[in-house]
Structure 1
Amino acid sequence: MGKRQTPPEKPAEIHEVPLRDALEERYLAYALSTIMHRALPDARDGLKPVHRRILYGMDLLGLDPRAAFKKSAKIVGDVMGSFHPHGDQAIYDAMVRLAQDFSSRYPLVDGQGNFGNIDGDNPAAYRYTEARMTEVARLLLDGIDEDGVEFRLNYDGQSKEPVVLPGGFPNLLANGAQGIAVGMATSIPPHNAAELCDAALHLIEKPDAKSKALLKWVKGPDFPTGGIVVDSKEAIIEAYTTGRGSFRTRSRWTQEEGARGTWVVVVTEIPWLVQKSRIVEKIAELINEKKLPLVADVRDESAEDVRLVIEPKSRTVDPALMMESLFRLTELESKISLNLNVLIKGRIPKVVGLAECLREWLDHLRDVLVRRSNFRKTQIEHRLEVLGGHLVAYLNLDKVIKIIRTEEEPKPVLIKTFKLTEIQAEAILNMRLRNLRRLEEMEIRTEDKDLRKELKGIEGLLGSETEQWAKVGEQVRKVRDIFGPKTPLGKRRTSFADAPEHDLAAIEEALVEREPCTVVISEKGWVRTLKGHVEDLSGLAFKTDDKLEHSFFAETTSKLLLFATNGKFYSLDVAKLPGGRGHGEPIRMFIDLEQDAAIISLFVNKGERKFLIASSEGQGFVVKEEDCVGNTRKGKQVLNVEMPNEARAITTVNGDTVAVIGTNHKMVLFGLDQVPEMARGRGVRLQKYTSSELSDVAVFDSKTGLTWKDSAGREHSMTMKELADWRGNRADAGRLAHGLPKSNKFNRGVE
């Protein structure tokens, strides 16, 4: 017979769910899990779940500050097995950060062994290191055995873990927190605990106080690595009021004098969360790339303290300017963000200000105080009940013994005979014989009296909100005294200052190696730089249908000014121009020059000259060179022109007489004093035209006469006596210029 086939199993019921709904539901669950159980700290104790579980696990192991150290492997194993099943390395990394005094302002873990260093070196494996709690962690846990906080089942339901720690220390702001969740993040720098306590005490007295008022005590962040915050007071106030902002933090440095006038800069403090080795590597890299012309060398002489030695190129270097260049290019200056995004009541993510943040901590302290008081009240009431039973037993000792010896069930007989409660009868039956001879009426009554007095105080505390806040204030004062400004751990490490004012041009010059170069401009507006001052450019290659327009000598630190037909001046850095290899790049790549505008002149900015600029309609004025410098790619409008009128000429003011020549080959000479000096405008008429335009202008000294160059580059000159026929006044039409170049150009340019 063939094998009997079993019928196929009935398929499970299939539910159709829209993909959109399924994705939304699952992604929301993932986001909430990340926000609440991984990334954001609780506003009450300032801890994330992993840190809370580490401290509670250490508490269960009895690792108090004065207890013996235990292996980190033991701590990690217990925490992972009982509370945090997310990988041993994640737990150990979190514990290491709690122990690093350069990461945590007030370390919660006292580590023994290699727990990493400020250079970024990794800590030893957890089998080699040992740990225990610090006094700060003890403050956070104080009261956890007195029903101070709520507990919940752990991940497998076999034991319980605290929802939040009692938090007798302002840990959220004192140690800060960093975290990235889904769609939100948190970034809280460390602060000084004593300052936070002072602000909290003010908040107890004036519950409606705003964040700005609390800044009288909380000056700003206090980083474990020190440093100097160089933000303005207004920016700091804005950050703490809104809960969002940043702190510009600089390294602390001093100048140390050496032999024969030499000196070095010594960096003793660096910004928080910046690796020292990375700073040294970056400075060395910039020196090799010649991007730090004022710095000769850097070396790390650090032992337990930070000591970075920076040598200048020469003794004449300005140390402040040298450090300014380093602050701009390296992590010796760092921007540390503030994003006070925390979990309110352990459930609601919210960005809060300083006042609300401290208020959450104070409210939590009060809740813990009430819970602990109720717990103590229950203990006292139980003890008073037991003492009442003991007193009955002492006063009726023989009768009690007789009942216990003769009755099969002495408990109900004792309750009936002496009108006892279940607890009192049980306490009598559980008494040891050795206690009978020590049991004295006075001792019982004294203890009863003391307990009733304590109970009365607790009931008064629970019934008065004012007393509760007074008790919280007393607790905060104790923390302030422990971490006061005169204690080694409580002393403020970060200071505040205004960033020194330096000339921007000097700073930018300090970032470039100063070397001679030659700037080459082609006829079609392509620019490049050649190393050194090159006289002979005959062998220089250009693109097809392009050729040399002009060239001039400069330095890599030079600034260039470009004057265009739209009447604008544009600023360029020689250091940003392309090198001599290839044909260069169009100058329009570096500035926002309109397509219908052309270049009139490009020259080195010297800053102390004056120029005469003129338009094609014959209008112009004198302008200072400093008024021509702009800071944007769009340039600076100096000569106001509208098409078809355009800027046509520029020349250096170097004399007392102006020469203007038009396209009609007519020229007029007049005194420079007839031309006004302006910063911007249309100018005044220089020469009158009917159907022609201005071609060129020149300013010369009447004593030496007018000089110009012809198309072949030959120089010509005429004295004032020879130029007598062309002398006139501004806005004259002028006379035909016999003997002057037919191109109607003086070719003098900017000198």
Structure 2
Amino acid sequence: MSSELPDEPVSNPDQAQTIRIEEEMEQSYIDYAMSVIAGRALPDVRDGLKPVQKRILYAMEESGITSNTGHRKCSNIVGDTMGKYHPHGDSSIYDALARMAQEFSLRYPLVDGQGNFGSVDGDPPAAMRYTEARMSPLGEEMLTDIDSDTVDFQPNYDDRLEEPIVLPSALPNLLLNGSSGIAVGMSTNIPPHNLGEVIDGLIHRIDNPDCAISELIEHVKGPDFPTGANIVGRSGIYDAYTTGRGKVRLRADMEVDEEQGQIVVTELPYQENKARRIKRIADDVNDGTIEGIRDIRDESDRDGVRVVIELKRGANPDVVKNQLVKHHLERTFSIIMLALVDGQPRILNLQEMLDAFLEHRREVVRRRIQHELDNATERAHVLEGRLLALDNAEEVVELIRDASDRSKAKAMLRSTFDFSERQADHIVRMQLGSLTSLETEEIESEYASLTDQIERYETILSEESELLGVIKSELRDLKAQYDDDRRTAIIEDAGTVSHEDLIPQEESIVVLTESNYVKRMALSTFDAQHRGGKGIIGTKLKDGDRVNAVFHANTHDYLLCFTTEGQVYQLKTYEIPEMSRTARGKSAVNVLDLDPDEDVTAIVNTEEFNGDQSLTMVTKNGYIKRTPTTEFGNILSTGIRAVSLEPDDELVDVVVTNGTADVLIGTEQGRSIRFSEGDVRPMGRSARGVNGIELVDDDRVAGLVAVSDADTTLLTITEHGYGKRTPIEEYRAQSRYGKGLVDIKTTSRNGSVVALEAVSDEDDLILMSDDGQIMRTHAKEVSCQGRNTMGVQVMNPDESDRVTTIDVVPCE
């Protein structure tokens, strides 16, 4: 069998066309896309309805299913719509009908449903044979005056009937109920709004045709969702109203009941599936993603949403609330104000959307007034003939009686009295009873009224201001009838929920070791003891490791961590892993980029920064420097240089000073020197500093204290756990770079000085040893003694152990 093509084409050559396949595909796809865009997915800017919604309402109007009649089976409504106007599947028509009846989907439902029309839990509506519906009063407003030649009609799908191209729509439904839809290559997502606010915006636009969008936003404050909840911030609203696109954050409305230990959710973000959301919260609680929740109950009913979240004892309600907001109870609503304008899809800003509706109302009201004018003019014309006939009643009756039939009677009336065809026909059909004097008065009254109406109609049609006045008056009447309170509150944007918001504020103890292990523990873990005890285990050390530093901080504090190498790093306390007393901790490289031989030697809390302050630093070899805190505002993750050090020197201590304080440097061998902070001029970060104390006999600096309160005492702690408090006035001020005075008598019994702190009686002390023992005691447990004394036993470490460091928990 030959595979060759025939020489002659099979079809008629005169009818054959040569086309390129890509051109045909392109055109066919465009035709399909426009069919979807205009015929299914996008609303008309004038009435805010998609074709299926418009046809459902018109079919109900034609069937007389209004808000004043009884409900009708939805299957009947769907059948009428499908058979007359919308030749598509019944399920798509019923879905649209059901949505127009859902109070949680539409801000102002257009259909009044009876039966199960679904729920916020995602339950589908019952089958259409079980549910009933009728138009809501607002739905009827969409079709007001449709019989007054207000809109154009077009043939239905089979040319048997006619359907309106657009509904008259007395209300701006596109803004009131919003719309969502996905077309080919585009989508729309217009949020619902409050009726009163939108009408106020329309009236302001009528009165101020040159107003800016910012003025309209004063009236149309933002979306108003049927499920309430909160809009966080106004920037997304402004973007949407000025550009047609924007994103708003919707947050559930919650009440925190601390007495009952509950968080009660009363409003959910728009289009949120309540049952699914509750399940996901429960899953996160079980997985440990959300902590502090004991139970979740759904107590919602027909009156609204009520989800009760029971908290565990001791849980922080604010932290749990922030966790819920971050993971579950806040979502983003993307606004795309896309609608059909003259059959073409366009993204509109608020002003353009209001203008499009007003232009539609101008046309509708103008056509309605013209229709009423035509009717009134025709009626007045008939009444004019009737009045003339009454004035000549006997002659008219005689003429009609002498005529052989109606046609001749009308001809004789027209020739005798110059009646028009319409007038003559009406007179011939008059009853004799209408010739009474009372009837004459009624006709004269009606004629006078019609004359006034005609004059009014002509004025409205000839003057734009009068036409706009009618529109304004009708809008005000609708507002008075249907306005309600805003449901969605607009709250100030305090920023998105950060990781910090999910961390409870808690006083903590942070431990670092020489091998760079770090962890934090709750301060409440350590009860205060009397002085002289051993403390309790505070960390588990690996062989050869020692505790390097311990300090107190709140989990939300920003800390500056200074190292022996003169570097400074910034750290948030909550970034340090929280672990138990017996845990070793995690490698500090996870939070600080330390070199192998670099140890943290001082911690400064940036919460103490409140003005023109400085960080005053002292090194092991006695150098001191003062650098403004403003130099430490932008610290890299790899740290920055805080002080330049000589090869054999190390940074020992850092304190915050205010420019008017005295500073006191203490050494390991018990010497101390006090001098004015002003003796040290401010320097940059790269400076080495100046001599602060003259060291002798291989002595080294142990610590630095800022002295600003004469009532404080100087606490000195030695390596064997001895300590004392001495009134600060016993340390007279000297010039910088002297040998100083004796602070504490150091011997083999009490050991070298390891730390100095300024304390008051109300402060608590946290002491820690090389082997990881931690002891908390009250500062007042340490007795006040003179300078040249050995002190008392504050902590009693093992013989092979030694006190390494202390920190002060200030009194509240």
> Structure 1 residues 729 and 326 mapped into 2: Cα distance closer, same or farther (>3 Å)?
same
Asked whether the equivalents of residues 240 and 349 of structure 2 are also in contact (C-alpha less than 8 Å), the reply is: no
Q: Retained in 1: the 8 A contact 2:45–2:174? A: yes
Name the residue aligned to 1:340.
337
Q: 1:154-185: per-residue Cα shift (whole Å, max 9, x none)?
A: 33333222222111112222222223344443
Q: Is the 8 A contact 1:571 1:629 kept in 2?
A: no
Give 3-state SS (helix, strand or coil) of 1:141's partner.
coil
Find the aligned partners of 1:28 and 1:616 in 2 and give their Cα distance. 80
Q: How does 1:155-194 map to 2 (within 5 A)?
A: 155-194=157-196
Deviations 1:596-635 (A, max 9, x none): 99976599997789998799999985789999798x9x53
Question: Take 2:323 and 2:683, find their aligned partners in 1: how far apart are those partners?
Answer: 32
Q: Which residue of 2 aligns with 1:248?
A: 249
Give the Cα–Cα distance (whole angstroms) in 2 for the partners of residues 149 and 268 of structure 1: 43
Aligned counterpart for 1:61 among listed residues 60, 63, 82: 63
CA contact (8 A) 1:555 1:574 kept: no
Q: Is the 8 A contact 1:342 1:352 kept in 2?
A: no
Could you tell me how far apart the structure 2 residues matched to 1:253 and 1:370 are? 49
Query: What is the TM-score normalised by the length of structure 2?
Result: 0.67
Alignment of 1:503-582 (within 5 A): 507-510=501-504, 567=567, 569-571=569-571
Query: What's the counterpart of residue 465 of structure 1?
Result: 464
Q: CA deviation at 1:112?
A: 0.4
Instruction: Give the match for residue 268 of structure 2.
Output: 270
TM-score with structure 1 setting the length: 0.72
Q: Which moved more, 1:147-156 or 1:234-243?
A: 234-243
- Give the aligned partner of residue 15 of structure 1: 18
Q: 1:447-486 alignment to 2 at 5 Å? A: 447-484=446-483
- The answer to whether the aligner puts 1:498 opposite 2:507 as a matched pair is no
Give, in angstroms, the shift of residue 16 of structure 1: 3.3
Deviations 1:435-490 (A, max 9, x none): 52333361544444433332222112211212111111111110111024xxxxx1
After the TM superposition, which residues 405-444 of structure 1 pair with which residues of structure 2 at under 5 Å, given as runs? Answer: 405=405, 419-424=418-423, 427=426, 431=429, 436-440=431-435, 442=440, 443-444=442-443
- The residue identity in structure 2 corresponding to 1:373 is I
Aligned AA (1:17)? R
Provide the C-alpha distance between the structure 2 equivalents of 1:33 and 1:202, rounded to a whole number of angstroms.
Answer: 36
* Range moving further from structure 2, 157-166 or 299-308: 157-166
CA distance in 2, matches of 1:679, 1:91: 78
Provide the C-alpha distance between the structure 1 equivalents of 2:353 and 2:331, rounded to a whole number of angstroms.
Answer: 25
Is structure 2 residue 303 aligned with structure 1 residue 309? no
Alpha-carbon distance in structure 1 between the residues aligned to 2:399 and 2:649: 124
Read off the aligned partner of 1:357 and give its amino acid letter. Answer: M
- Work out whether residues 618 and 704 of structure 2, in 8 Å CA contact, stay in contact via their aligned partners in 1: no
Looking at structure 1, the residues matched to 653 and 412 of structure 2 have their Cα atoms a distance apart, in angstroms, of 123
Distance in 2, Cα, partners of 1:142 & 1:349: 27
Give the SS at the match of 2:503.
helix
Residue by residue, what CA displacement relative to the aligned partner does 1:38-96 show, whole Å, maximum 9, x if unpaired?
34333322222222222112111111101111111121222223322332222222221
CA distance in 2, matches of 1:312, 1:560: 29
Q: State how 1:283-298 maps to structure 2 within 5 Å.
A: 283-298=281-296
Q: In the alignment, which residue of structure 2 is the partner of 1:718?
A: none
Contact 1:650 1:749 in 2 (8 A): no
Instruction: Return the match for 1:150 from 149, 152, 159.
Output: 152
Q: Any idea what SS the aligned residue of 1:438 has? A: helix
CA contact (8 A) 1:559 1:605 kept: no
Q: Percent identity?
A: 31
In structure 2, stretches of 5+ residues that fail to align are 1-5, 526-536, 610-614, 657-662, 693-699, 706-713, 722-734, 740-801, 808-812
1:321-336 matched pairs, under 5 angstroms: 321-331=319-329, 333-336=330-333
1:476 & 1:251 partners in 2: Cα distance? Answer: 32
Query: Which whole-Å CA distance do the structure 2 matches of 1:617 and 1:38 have between them?
Result: 82
Shift of 1:349: 0.9
Shift of 1:328: 2.0
Residue matched to 2:659: none
Which amino acid in the other structure matches residue 474 of structure 1? S
What displacement does 1:323 show?
2.4
In the alignment, the residues of structure 1 paired with residue 24 and residue 507 of structure 2 have an alpha-carbon distance, to the nearest angstrom, of 65
Q: What is the distance in 2 between the residues matched to 1:42 and 1:213?
A: 25
Deviations 1:726-745 (A, max 9, x none): xx98899xxxxxxxxxxxxx
2:641 match: secondary structure: coil
Match of 1:205 among 200, 207, 211: 207
Distance in 2 (CA, whole Å) between partners of 1:204 and 1:270 is: 36
Indicate the SS of the match to 1:101. Answer: coil
Displacement of 1:22: 4.2
CA distance in 2, matches of 1:619, 1:82: 96
Structure 1 residues 618 and 242: alpha-carbon distance in aligned structure 2, compared to 1, 3 A threshold: farther
Q: Distance in 2 between matches of 1:648 and 1:89?
A: 79
Give the match for residue 366 of structure 1: 362
Shift of 1:296: 2.4
Counterpart of 1:665? none
1-structure distance, mates of 2:135, 2:406: 55
Unaligned runs of 5+ in 1: 1-5, 485-489, 540-546, 661-667, 689-695, 709-713, 716-727, 733-745
**Structure 1 equivalent of residue 778 of structure 2:** none
Q: Is the 8 A contact 2:548 2:600 kept in 1?
A: no
Deviation at residue 289 of structure 1 after TM alignment: 2.3
Q: What is the DSSP-based 3-state SS (H/G/I as helix, E as strand, rest coil) of the residue aligned with 2:250?
A: strand
Is 1:622–1:676's contact at 8 Å kept on the other side of the alignment?
A: yes
- Of 62, 72, 75, 1:73 maps to 75
Structure 1 residue 248: Cα displacement: 3.2
